[in-house]
Structure 1
Amino acid sequence: MSPAETTFDNEIRIVCWNVEHNGRGRHGGEDHRDLARDILASLKPHVVLRQELTGAWDRGKADLYAEANRLGGLTPFMAAPREGRSRNPVGVMIDPNLFFVDGEFEHDMPWKPICNPRVRLKGCAKPIDLASAHLCHCDPDLRATEARRLTTLADNSRSALVGMDANSYPHQAELESVTLPDWDTVEDRVHYQHRTIERAGRRVSDTRPDEILSGGDPVFTDLGLHAATVLGQPGALAATASLKRTDQGPAQRIDRMYCTPTSRRPCSASRSWQPTTCERSPTTPYSSRDSASTSFADPSPPPAGTSASGENPCSSTRRSATSRTTAAATAHCGSGRTTGSRRSACICSFGRRCGTPRTTATSSRTRPKPCSAWPD
């Protein structure tokens, strides 16, 4: 099924997808690529924020295009692997039926580059920076540097959405559903060196990347945490990795998605939105990794006069044994006009809504229309 034929005409589905060594197995002994692609295709994603594209640069990026084609013809982007550095690069794929591409950037970090296409939802004036990142597995200081680099995506009030394997931990431990590792009991001492930092004379779990991205007066919103604490979806805080190793402590929520809050420059007549409930998927054995999925859907409008919620559409990282998760988030301004069985809504910059009335013809895919309240 092509992206244009998806039956969920009022949703935009964004998936953060991390398959260990691209489904090839750590030593190349097993090949789960086709199974992983089938599972991903069942989500019908419009945007994929991809990690561990091992070997996908070889043979003219044949693996990259094979996956994009299996997903119905998404447009793929991929950071080139560097000699002497990680051979597990990241990438982004987008639905060309929904998005224009305004630019493509690579942030050349010391271990893995960050893949960063800039896109615009068709009918919208303001672009959004999409980024896939995989923070360094062995160096806490480098992870902090990589996180600070990601904050530049939000500079000058830009909108950004980031999906990553953070290789580190959420900083608001009291809100999490999984307890941080007790490092005195962790058997893998190399893992101990990789995942801890020194604070107040003792070694503690490395939470610095999350603090940089979403702590204090936050640059980004942690979508899983928002889904759990604001939207009532506690499964969003489920562990994502490692789901196989027993010598590294309990599984943790190290794979996360972040977005810029919309409260900085809200539309003058914006309304609130809420995500729909996420659902579990059937068990499959292919990987120990996870993904997070965000869907934007247009529900019934809220009561008149409702103010902006100050948050972007959220993901729910609800773990299943397939190591993937789905959630649906809603985005609307209440200015939609009924077109057959579908509602059309003005969606500005992935969450900025306005009350601009307009009409649209009934079609197989309802698209947002331009409005008169774009940010400068």
Structure 2
Amino acid sequence: MELSTDESTQAAQAPQRPRRHSRQVTLRHTVDGVEHETKIGGGAPITVQSMTTGKTHDVEGCLAEVRELAEAGADVVRVAVPRPEDADALSAIVAGSPVPIVADIHFNHTYALKALEAGVAKVRINPGNIGKPEWEREVLRAAKDKGVPIRIGVNGGSLEKDILDKYGYPRPEALVESALRHAEVCDREDFQDVVISVKHSDVYFMIQSYRLLAEQTDYPLHLGVTESGSMKTGPIKSSIGIGSLLADGIGDTIRVSLAADSVNEVKVGHQILKSLRLGRPGVNVIACPTCGRLAGDLFSVVDEVEEAVAKRGFERDLNVALMGCAVNGPGEAAGADLGVSLGRGRAHVFKKGEIVGTVDQDEIADAVIDLIERWDEPAAS
């Protein structure tokens, strides 16, 4: 590979993105005797969550899934607790998890109490089915004693009957009223460690619900489009819903809900953050859509580079542009940190918009990875 010696050595800093002001909650968990903290809200990095799909009472299977999600990049993992045996298994799951565990509670508040005793990092309750107000207050008092946050998880499909009767449909105003009703219960109990979600399967209603809620409270917000669908449709719906809000500065933690392997939820979640230059640093691959000017097999180049980048898990915050012709690169990709533009059997390599060398097409992926790995090295004199 032929490279010039006059190369920039520093990546461009991502511009500041707007963030809604919110109070902060702390999720605590212990790994190998060392306590760790995961912050949500208050300017903390946006966390990516997912949920296990297996039976929680299958401790070994559940932990295997939790570890797989953690390895994929999940910051927080939620587990369902629909039965007594699931609640009984939480202590072992918490003890063996590398990330904070959230107990997902519906219908039976005693499972929430057991989850708190088991040491979970957070409890999600559904206001639409938690039951009597005194049961909710009992959970809040126990959570306060333990120093454990609660997520008020409002869902368009399970609103309280009186609110649904009032609005006739799970409109954004209905979801927000439910959330604020239960936030007031928390306030009366002097319980401040609260995260709120107002999820809806309708992307437009979901966006409007969170925008309304963001105007009326400073609690941290958990974003998600519920029941978004398969890998064909779910990532699109989630990207529109979650991405629109994050672009406005709304949102402190996200979960992409997919009818697919949960690892995909984590991958899509991080890709949404990366696309907005939020979240963890990492290499962002840009590729032109191609047209009749295409001067080589860009599709295979993109696949090779994306696969290689994913395997290495680079923490360098770089934009890498893969362009199919001289028109798109480096001209239209001048803002990228580095990239290539295809020619006839060869490709120009550029850094910060300046061509620094050429490489054969079958060596492009290796050349790009090499440049990423050597990004911080000083230029030769």
Instruction: Please give the range of the TM-score, normalised by the shorter of the 2 chains.
Output: 0.3 to 0.5
Which structure shows the higher helix fraction?
2
Larger Rg: 2
TM-score (norm 2): 0.35
